Amino acid sequence: MTSPASTVLVIDDEPQIRRFLRAGFELHGFAVIEAENAAAGLKAATFDAPNLIVLDLGLPDLGGDEVLERIRSWSNVPIIILSVEANEQEKVRALRLGADDYVVKPFGIAELLARSDAALRRYFRSTDKNPIVKAGPLLVDLASRAVSLDGKRVQLTRKEYTLLHLLASHAGLVVTHQQLLKEIWGKQSVNIQYLRILMRKLRQKIEPDPSQPRIIATESGVGYRLDTSAASSAD
Amino acid sequence: MSNIRISPHDARNDSATRPRHPLMRIIRTNAIPVLVSLALVVLATEWLSVLQEFTRLDLVTLFYLLPVLFAAVRWGVVPAVFAAIAGAAAADFFFYPPLYSLWIQDPRHAIDIVVFLFVAVVTGDLAARLKRDADALRRREAAMRELYAFSQRLAACFTGADLVFAVQDYLSNTLGCNAFLIARAALVEHGNDATRESIPEAIRQSALALLATAPAQTCRVADAASGHTWLISTVAEASGYGAIAVDLGKAAGDDLAAIEQRVETLLREADKTLQHLKIAEAIEQARLKQQADALKDALVGGVSHELRTPLASITGSASVLAETPAVQSDPRSRDLVEAIQDQAHQLDADIRNLLDATRITAQGIRPHLEWTDPTDIVHAAVGQKSRRLAEHPLHVEVASDLPLLRLDSGLVEQALAQVLDNAAKYSPAGAPVTVSARAEPGHVIFSVTDKGAGLTPDEKAQLGRRSFRGQRHTLGAPGAGLGLWVASTLIATNGGTLDAASQGADRGTTVTIRLPVSAEAPVPAEVADD
């Protein structure tokens, strides 16, 4: 899915972090632009038209929220947040402000690349003619709304499908509780326990082993993620 | 610093100019009052003779009580007696026949004079005593006020030097005495030259001798050279602070006794304060320790942050390295790079625990409560530690009918992940780890069972303690106790409990987390049914 021409803008004030990010992205065919602060980052985001932005939330000159808002005011470019603290509220806020996903330091490059690929895929999906999402043994056809597990058709209720559809259309990316509640029930006032119960039912239908779910991952305090890297049971 | 000299502001010490003989002193102090009293008697006589022109006076002697009372109240008993005698004489001489003679014709007048004298002397004495008492009361009140001011001043003392200043200042202001603190150590090691001049060598030696022999006492020493009397008193013998030497001047007898008494009262007060200063010192030390703790926490927080950034670089760099073709094709390199990643992750987890422990101690944790599926927590924690648990067969047993819980899922996940981490850390490779979640009335119970190092009863007792320092040191492996302490604190903030049970050393451990089920029904059945 990643084209060799993809350019990633890395905005982080730590030179060592930038160094390994450059090495990691270049190893996987990305071109890398580095920015050591928000000012340089915003400038590069404007003039160099990157396909993806990796943004550290702890920049010295401007808050991460502010940088996010400014970029989002004119661009839909995928943004992955780097956060030091495993602070759920901070993640949720960044996601609400338009970040596509986050990774918490320390992280391996594989994790960041998986998020980046997922974000890029979602960004380019509008032009994709084959909207089928694969997560291990699970196939979701977003166009025909058909779901199959190991080739067998799975029957889902309307709400169960809506939930799966939302996760599948953000395949590999986290979807927050608020987003899910709003999309499924049409209003955010619905309590999160409805979502928990619905998720439990969905997992019982689509997970090969519901006691050890691998297809839908839980992000405590944030949301859920359809794990496209889950191994297919057929593999 | 310990030897400070403050000169008296004014020399009120006029005892040197006073006559030595008591009778002479009485005459000297009463001469003017007696003369004035006699003048008053003359004045009374003048008025009486004027009044005599208009009317006949019967009780002439009553008039002469006025100067007597006045003299008694004003100056005391001696002028009053003089006034009484003069009054009796004047009454006899000017008003009782035969006039202008001290002879008394009428026996009634004789009785009159005698009664007058008796009444005058008695009332004069009474009035004088009243005055003396009032004066004493006023003096005592003044002394009390001074002492109160002094103790207030003492209360503001924070060091021994402050105290000496206060004592010296007070003594020189109120008594006109010089006071010196002779600190035990300072005196022996480096006697201040200025102090040497002001404290006679004999007194210094006496003070030293006093300090050497008797731990707590006061003594009066005469300085032969100046003729002054000195009072030396040891203070705060417990702290070995030293002695205070007070120059009482050349006073003698009652004066000396009075001054001595006041100085002693003062020194007792000062001594008490010196003892308090030790308490204050202890409080100060406690405060310093608290500050040091806060600083240490800040340091741990800061250092942890500073350490985590390079660690993130190491982890990230190693992960990139692991994907390079050169490393992928060489099993040994791949092994080493994995070791780097694992160790960096472990180090980061330990630092995270330190950071959390510091944060818990410093400001506590405010849980962000929301309805959560306990199943999700188990899976998230297992997922988080999958790499760490790779060498252990993992059994996950989650009941399908768990009720939803209202808690901070992030915190509980972190706690459970920590328990899993410990299970992996203390089990030999290949030993199974079992995670289970089940419901009991009122509770959901997570338990993690390993076949590892287990806990000795001692170690188990340590786990309950809230002092993570103690745990860290008693549990051999660094970070273990700290991690469990953090985990149990995180569980406690969610209203749950964490317990560790073990059959003993090397017989495995079961950590049980009990979380309360909220009474309110979280979800109507039909919603979930769609």
pLDDT digits (tens, 9 = 90+) for B423-460: 888 888 889 999 999 999 889 999 999 888 777 666 66
Q: Each residue of B489-501: pLDDT tens digit?
A: 889 888 899 888 8
* pLDDT bucket at B215, cuts 50 / 70 / 90: low
User: Which of B305, B355, B365, B379 is best to mutate for the A interface (most A CBs within 10 A)?
Assistant: B379
Cis ω before B98 (30° cut-off from 0): yes
Q: Percent of chain B scored above 70 by pLDDT? A: 77
Distance in angstroms (rounded) separating the CA atoms of residues B230 and B233: 10
Q: Is the backbone of residue B495 left (phi > 0), alpha (psi -120 to 50) or beta?
A: left
> Of the candidates B313, B324, B527, which has its C-beta nearest A17's C-beta?
B313
User: Which of B327, B359, B373 is best to mutate for the A interface (most A CBs within 10 A)?
Assistant: B373
Q: What would the mean pLDDT of A199-223 be, rounded to a whole number?
A: 87
On chain A, the residues whose CB falls within 8 A of the CB of B439 are none
> What does the pLDDT read at residue B278?
66
Length of chain B: 530
The model's pTM: 0.58
Q: Does 1.20.950.20 match the CATH number of domain A132-226?
A: no
Nearest chain B CA: its distance from A36 CA (Å): 15
Q: What would the mean pLDDT of A98-114 be, rounded to a whole number?
A: 91
Q: Give the chain B residue nearest A18 (alpha carbons).
A: B313
Nearest chain B CA: its distance from A210 CA (Å): 9
Q: Has residue B301 got a pLDDT over 70?
A: no
Helix or strand run (H / E) with residue A175: strand A174-176
> What does the pLDDT read at residue B471?
41
Q: Is B311 in CB contact (< 8 Å) with chain A?
A: yes
Q: Specify the DSSP class assigned to residue B330.
A: -
> What does the pLDDT read at residue A153?
92
Q: Has residue B93 got a pLDDT over 50?
A: yes
Q: Are strands A52-56 and A7-11 parallel, antiparallel or unpaired?
A: parallel
Q: What would the mean pLDDT of B503-513 be, rounded to a whole number?
A: 83
Q: Each residue of B240-249: pLDDT tens digit?
A: 556 777 777 7
Q: Has residue B2 got a pLDDT over 50?
A: no
Distance in angstroms (rounded) separating the CA atoms of residues A141 and B14: 115
Top mean pLDDT of B80-84, B208-212, B482-486 is at B80-84
Amino acid at B362: A
Q: Has residue B13 got a pLDDT over 70?
A: no
* pLDDT bucket at A127, cuts 50 / 70 / 90: low
Q: Specify the DSSP class assigned to residue A104.
A: E
Q: Please state the separation of Cα B445 from the chain's center in Å.
A: 48
Interchain CB distance below 8 Å, A108 and B316: yes
Q: Has residue A4 got a pLDDT over 60?
A: no
CA nearest to B220, candidates B196, B250, B248, B200: B248
Tell me phi and psi for residue B398, to 5 degrees.
Answer: -115, 125
- Buried/exposed code over B474-497 (b: 16+ C-beta within 10 A; e: otherwise): bbeeebbbbbbbbbbbbbebbebe
> What does the pLDDT read at residue B246?
78
> Of the candidates B316, B375, B530, which has its C-beta nearest A17's C-beta?
B316
Q: What architecture does CATH give domain A7-126? A: 3-Layer(aba) Sandwich (3.40)
Q: Is B188 in CB contact (< 8 Å) with chain A?
A: no
* H helix runs in A73-219, sequence order: 88-96, 109-124, 158-169, 177-185, 192-206
CB A60 within 8 A of CB A11: no
Q: Has residue B60 got a pLDDT over 60?
A: yes
> What does the pLDDT read at residue B522?
58
| Residues carrying CATH 3.40.50.2300, chain A | 7-126
Q: Has residue A73 got a pLDDT over 60?
A: yes
Between B233 and B131, residue with greater pLDDT: B131
List Cβ<8 Å contacts ≥24 apart for B272-278: B273/B151, B273/B154, B273/B155, B273/B157, B273/B163, B274/B160, B274/B163, B274/B235, B274/B236, B274/B239, B274/B241, B275/B236, B275/B238, B275/B239, B277/B157, B277/B158, B277/B159, B277/B160, B277/B163, B277/B236, B277/B239, B278/B236, B278/B238, B278/B239
Mapping DSSP to helix (H, G, I), strand (E, B) and coil, where does residue B460 land? helix
Between B472 and A15, residue with greater pLDDT: A15
Q: What six digits make up the tokens of A13?
A: 């004030």
Q: Specify the DSSP class assigned to residue B403.
A: P
User: Which of B306, B311, B313 is best to mutate for the A interface (most A CBs within 10 A)?
Assistant: B313
What is the rounded average pLDDT for all residues in chain B? Answer: 77
Distance in angstroms (rounded) separating the CA atoms of residues B144 and B150: 9
Q: What would the mean pLDDT of B133-152 be, rounded to a whole number?
A: 81
